[in-house]
Amino acid sequence: MADLPKVKVSFNNDYSKAKLLVQNINIKKDIGEVNISFALGDFVVDRAYLSNDENYHVFEVYDSKTVQQYEFKDFNDLRVQTSQLDDYTLQIDKSIAIPLHGTLLVGQTGSGKTYALYSLILQMITKKVQYNLYFADPKNSSLAVLGDKISEENTATDIDEIIKLLQSFVEKMESRKFEVKEMLNTKLEADYTDFQYEPHIFIFDEFASFQSIIQTMEKKKRDELTKLLSQVILQGRQLGFFLWIVMQKSDASLLPTNLRENLPVKFVLGNAEKQTYVTAFGAGVDIPEKDFVLGQGVLTCPVIADTARICHFSYLDFDILEAVTHLRS
């Protein structure tokens, strides 16, 4: 006699998404680890987890025929979409929006990594709350050009300038720490968003290039820089100070393990090698088998995606520099 589980399905209004609940019964194999996508027709499993009461395995599924990517024909379209979110949340695609966190963005040349970063930066500069953006680009490439348009005084390409910019960033964070401590007397366990503080984002492009240079410095200097980076990653969340590291690979030789493991949000774009996923997300990560197109990849994010989840960054079909220049003028 077979002991069949109860199954429940609930769709959203347009039937493009659903939650499939499968009763948690005592079987030798955990249902939550079973790949059920093949049995769902056009639907694909996006997330799988155990319900809070542990009575059901929950599978969040979506219609694979539904395009998840936003396509913005002009800057105003992006601004309209951004205005539908709160000031401390960024849109990734039609299914995913994430709060601000320290972030690791990994992707080989041609994966869409740079345009993914642009789509996030453009959202930031259209928010009602002012975002204070800092740009470190040791290769003096396109990010430095964009940085000069947005915040020239906080854009650095020379190694010594980058170090000074990072030191200034940490000094501002330390100053806010005392302000927030006073505010916490009125609201325990609050963070910068509760007090409407402006976020500060330090965007570090081509971090591997920077790391290769500082490895030639004396140990005392290397340790000082690692300490500054660690301070931001470990203390910045409550204060509204975030480090974003952008690179092609995140091997321990390029990004210290303690820094990588404490960045809450991680993206890997494009079709990466297995080792790239392991170093970014950790051993045992289950990556969906998919031929990722430009701007598509996987992410992990607290609450939003505890396991690797497919994401697809926006397609920007307009002149980005022109849009930024117009906004600033």
- Give the pLDDT of the chain (329 residues) as one tens digit per residue: 566 778 888 888 877 788 888 887 665 555 555 566 556 766 777 777 778 888 888 888 777 666 789 999 999 999 999 999 999 999 999 989 999 999 999 999 889 999 999 999 999 999 999 999 999 999 999 999 999 999 999 999 999 999 999 999 999 999 999 888 888 777 778 899 998 999 999 999 999 999 989 889 999 999 999 999 999 999 999 999 999 999 999 988 889 999 999 999 999 999 998 889 999 998 877 787 778 888 999 999 998 888 888 899 999 999 999 999 888 77
Based on the domain organization, do 18 and 114 belong to the same domain?
no
The count of other CB atoms within 10 Å of the CB of residue 97 is 14
9 DSSP β-pair partners: 20
Residue 1 in any domain: the answer is no
Based on the domain organization, do 319 and 177 belong to the same domain?
yes
Task: Supply the pLDDT for residue 54.
Answer: 80
Cβ neighbors of 167 (< 8 A, separation 6 or more) are: 228
Which run of H or E residues covers position 316? Answer: strand 315-316
Based on the domain organization, do 222 and 124 belong to the same domain?
yes
Residue 196 in any domain: the answer is yes
Based on the domain organization, do 125 and 206 belong to the same domain?
yes
> How many independent structural domains does the chain possess?
2
Residue 215 in any domain: the answer is yes
Last residue of a domain, which of 63, 80, 109? 63
Per-residue tokens: 251: 């091997």
Residue 2 in any domain: the answer is no
Position of tokens 């930066």?
121
Based on the domain organization, do 35 and 167 belong to the same domain?
no
Based on the domain organization, do 145 and 217 belong to the same domain?
yes
Burial 155-185 (b: 16+ CB within 10 A, else e): bbbeeeebbebbeebbeebeebeeebeeeee
CA distance 95 to 93: 5
Based on the domain organization, do 92 and 205 belong to the same domain?
yes
Based on the domain organization, do 253 and 124 belong to the same domain?
yes
Task: Supply the pLDDT for residue 19.
Answer: 85
Based on the domain organization, do 194 and 56 belong to the same domain?
no
Based on the domain organization, do 15 and 155 belong to the same domain?
no
CA distance 278 to 283: 5
246 DSSP β-pair partners: 105
Which run of H or E residues covers position 123? Answer: helix 113-124
Based on the domain organization, do 32 and 177 belong to the same domain?
no
Write out the residue range of the structural domain in which residue 259 sits: 71-328
Based on the domain organization, do 78 and 49 belong to the same domain?
no
The domain that holds 209 is classified in CATH as 3.40.50.300
